[in-house]
Amino acid sequence: MSERRGLLLHACCGPCTIEPLRALTEEGWDIAIAYVNPNIQPDDEYARRLATLEDYAAVQGIPVLRGLSDTAVKDIWQREVGCFGADRSRRCRACYRLRLRESARMAAEQGFSALSTTLSVSPYQLTDVIAEELEAAASEMHVDPVSRDFRPLYAAATRISRAQGMYRQNYCGCLISKGEAELERELRRKRRRAEAEVRAMQREAEQTAHAVEIAAQRASRVAHDELVRKKRAARDAARAARNAASDTSPQVHPSFASHTDQPTSPERNRA
């Protein structure tokens, strides 16, 4: 059997942990989880995600280490990350850096040989930036970075977490990302409503066009039938006129015709 190796897996939440944990375990890693997420706001959201993760990890027999959650650390997050505000690329990079550096420090202090993260399972994260910051943080603390693109596992993680009834958050973590997510959802709702209205208008236009076509066909049939009726009436009138003319023409009585048609004798002519 191959030697099992110690890996500290930084995890952002329970649902995102499911498939990376399975994949890394199958690679032969001996894993513990680090919940290092000072970005998660407000405090009850932080606690809810942690509880969901710990419940899942307990079932799997995986220990969960906690770090960077007190008020002082959150002040550091606000100073080093929150200062970038709506600049998502810089804000997220700084956030990854803060969390992965602390995770790497914990890995080095507690004797883990490698560090990985579940962040890259989400298609909504900046995967390349996560890989860069993981490499930098691990190298700084002299542990091996185990960088994986877990995005192909996202659908399975979503399906399993829903089937298990796990809490699934609808934003990344910080209040800025929550506002961005709410705005994106509202824009999607508006886009779906607009698309639905366009489809309804198209259906109405198609129905109107169909009704116009049916009416035109009906009118054409009525006009054709009327023309046929008029032609038939004209033929009937002409026939009736011919018949009437034939009935009123002078007729010669047969006896008169035979008498007048007899030749005149010479004697009668002489008389």
pLDDT tens digits for range 187-226:
889 999 999 999 999 999 999 999 999 999 999 999 999 9
Please report which confidence band the pLDDT of residue 251 belongs to, taking 50, 70 and 90 as the band edges.
low
Q: What are phi and psi of 4, to 5 degrees?
A: -85, 145
- Asked if residues 117 and 139 have their Cβ atoms less than 8 Å apart, the reply is no
Please report which confidence band the pLDDT of residue 108 belongs to, taking 50, 70 and 90 as the band edges.
very high
- Let me know the angle formed at the C-alpha of 210 by 205 and 216, rounded to the nearest 5 degrees: 125
pLDDT at 25 over 90: yes
pLDDT at 271 over 70: no
Judging by DSSP bridges, how do beta strands 114-117 and 5-10 pair with one another?
Answer: parallel
User: What is the mean predicted confidence (pLDDT) over 89-114?
Assistant: 96
Residue among 109, 122, 110, 113 at smallest CA distance from 148: 122
The DSSP code for 263 is: P
User: What is the mean predicted confidence (pLDDT) over 120-137?
Assistant: 97
User: What is the mean predicted confidence (pLDDT) over 96-120?
Assistant: 96
Please report which confidence band the pLDDT of residue 3 belongs to, taking 50, 70 and 90 as the band edges.
very low
* CA-to-CA separations, 110 to 103, 139, 185, in angstroms, rounded: 11, 16, 41
Sign (positive or negative) of CA dihedral 49, 52, 55, 59: negative
**7 - beta bridge partners?**
31, 114
Q: Which sequence spans correspond to the domains of the chain?
A: 5-173, 176-232
- Give the pLDDT score at 89: 94
The enclosing H or E element of 5 equals: strand 5-10
pLDDT at 2 over 50: no
**35 - beta bridge partners?**
66
pLDDT: is 122 or 76 the higher one?
A: 122
pLDDT tens digits for range 31-56:
999 999 999 999 999 999 999 999 99
pLDDT tens digits for range 6-17:
999 999 999 999
- Give the pair of three-digit tokens for residue 73: 């650390």
- Give the pLDDT score at 1: 34
- Give the pLDDT score at 72: 66
- Give the pLDDT score at 263: 55
pLDDT tens digits for range 55-97:
999 999 999 999 766 566 778 888 899 999 999 999 999 999 9
Residue among 35, 29, 39 at smallest CA distance from 57: 35
- Asked if residues 118 and 23 have their Cβ atoms less than 8 Å apart, the reply is no
Phi-psi sector, 117: left (phi>0), alpha (psi -120 to 50), beta: beta
The mean of the pLDDT values for the chain is: 89
Amino acid at 82: G
- Give the pair of three-digit tokens for residue 162: 């829903």
- Asked if residues 6 and 30 have their Cβ atoms less than 8 Å apart, the reply is yes
Q: Which CATH fold would you assign to the domain 5-173?
A: Rossmann fold (3.40.50)
**Cα separation, 136 vs 253, whole angstroms:** 134
- Give the pLDDT score at 265: 55
Rg (CA), the chain: 47
What distance lies between CA 112 and its chain's CA centroid? 42
- Let me know the angle formed at the C-alpha of 18 by 98 and 140, rounded to the nearest 5 degrees: 25
